[in-house]
Homo-oligomer: A and B are copies of this chain.
């Protein structure tokens, strides 16, 4: 059985100091994870928005890459060309869509994996024209002393995946936009397979395709090709609307285990499991019919965007997986599951 931690949620917005006094925290969620210097670390996503003083003026925070600061655009609440019904995105019929909030990545560390000290300042925040709407959903892949941190970057140019490399979570080397828009939910495999790096990725298409899970390979982690579909949405199941990688895949005796996310068309997000062939990771050997984790607890059902469990990372703890996950785009939670339970779900 999946065991949610009794102290869930383990990080909430009350633990987070806004990055500036005129902002308020909307959520802390979707954390990538790794072990570093013997500690468990999380790179948590913090979503903020400007405190709204005039109910007629909806503030939209956007980083200005020329002035190198986040500025606030005000939209008229009564302007009928905007649709304010989605708490996450402001849709505009004939023009630019905007996010209601701007996200950044913050560093947190813990000795026990449960009690985390979250830094007061952002670690990775909007810094250029591709990140102007924010930096979201970091994943961490460790290879030797190097930690590769990839995240979704949103801007007026769409959603791209950016890759950074660090040894100390203090200084970062920029490896560029590794996937063009729209692409998010990228997880990089932690070792080469037959001489190539691999990543799962999730393009969004505008005309024909559904949001499916793709795989690409790379000689150097910077340049990616051989784009192929690894898994598709499944009609009439819990993952009929969209799927994407969640946790960084890890090698087991049966193949690569990927904890992925799937959502219905009504945006109910669950976590599932997928087993990929060890030496041909584009081949799915098994996929869970039922979710590994689905929104059931009050903090998973209600929040900034309810009915969501979404993970960006797990850590293996012996034969148990500690899955850190975002609940309702609002808080960080922990659930543990024996690997054997996953094998049972997968029927392998």
Give me the interface of A with B, judged by CB distance under 8 Å: 89, 96-97, 129, 133, 154-160, 175-183, 201, 203-209, 212, 214, 216-220, 222-229, 232
A-B contacts besides A176-B227, A182-B205, 16 pairs, CB < 8 Å: A156-B209, A157-B229, A158-B205, A159-B205, A159-B207, A159-B208, A177-B228, A179-B227, A180-B203, A180-B214, A181-B209, A182-B206, A204-B206, A204-B207, A206-B206, A219-B223
Tell me whether A206 and B208 are in contact in the complex, defined as CB-CB below 8 angstroms, given that A218-B223, A227-B176, A227-B180 are known contacts. Answer: no
- A233 CB to closest chain B CB (Å) equals 11
When the two chains form the complex, which single residue of B158, B175, B216, B226 contacts A208, counting CB atoms closer than 8 Å?
B158
Assembled-state Cα–Cα distance A88/B43 (Å): 46
* Residues of chain B with a CB closer than 8 A to A178's CB: 225, 227
* B228 with A225: CB separation less than 8 A: no
Copies of the polypeptide in the assembly:
2
Assembled-state Cα–Cα distance A205/B176 (Å): 19
* Residues of chain B with a CB closer than 8 A to A203's CB: 158, 180-182
Q: List 26 A-B contacts (CB under 8 A).
A: A89-B207, A96-B208, A97-B207, A157-B209, A159-B205, A159-B207, A160-B227, A176-B225, A177-B226, A177-B227, A178-B225, A180-B183, A180-B203, A180-B216, A181-B203, A182-B206, A182-B209, A204-B206, A218-B223, A218-B225, A219-B220, A222-B225, A222-B226, A223-B223, A223-B225, A224-B224
* A179 with B176: CB separation less than 8 A: no
Assembled-state Cα–Cα distance A220/B97 (Å): 36
- A196 CB to closest chain B CB (Å) equals 9
* B223 with A217: CB separation less than 8 A: yes
Q: Which residue of B has the minimal Cβ distance to A133?
A: B208
Assembled-state Cα–Cα distance A157/B219 (Å): 25
Assembled-state Cα–Cα distance A178/B154 (Å): 23
* Residues of chain B with a CB closer than 8 A to A225's CB: 175-178, 218, 222-224
* A155 with B206: CB separation less than 8 A: no
* Residues of chain B with a CB closer than 8 A to A227's CB: 160, 176-180
- A90 CB to closest chain B CB (Å) equals 11
* A180 with B179: CB separation less than 8 A: yes
* Residues of chain B with a CB closer than 8 A to A176's CB: 225-228
* Residues of chain B with a CB closer than 8 A to A177's CB: 225-228
* Residues of chain B with a CB closer than 8 A to A179's CB: 180, 227
Q: Which residue of B has the minimal Cβ distance to A155?
A: B208
* Residues of chain B with a CB closer than 8 A to A89's CB: 207
* Residues of chain B with a CB closer than 8 A to A201's CB: 180
- A204 CB to closest chain B CB (Å) equals 4
Assembled-state Cα–Cα distance A158/B181 (Å): 13
Assembled-state Cα–Cα distance A157/B204 (Å): 10
* Residues of chain B with a CB closer than 8 A to A224's CB: 223-225
- A197 CB to closest chain B CB (Å) equals 10
* A207 with B160: CB separation less than 8 A: no
* Residues of chain B with a CB closer than 8 A to A96's CB: 208
- A282 CB to closest chain B CB (Å) equals 11
- A317 CB to closest chain B CB (Å) equals 34
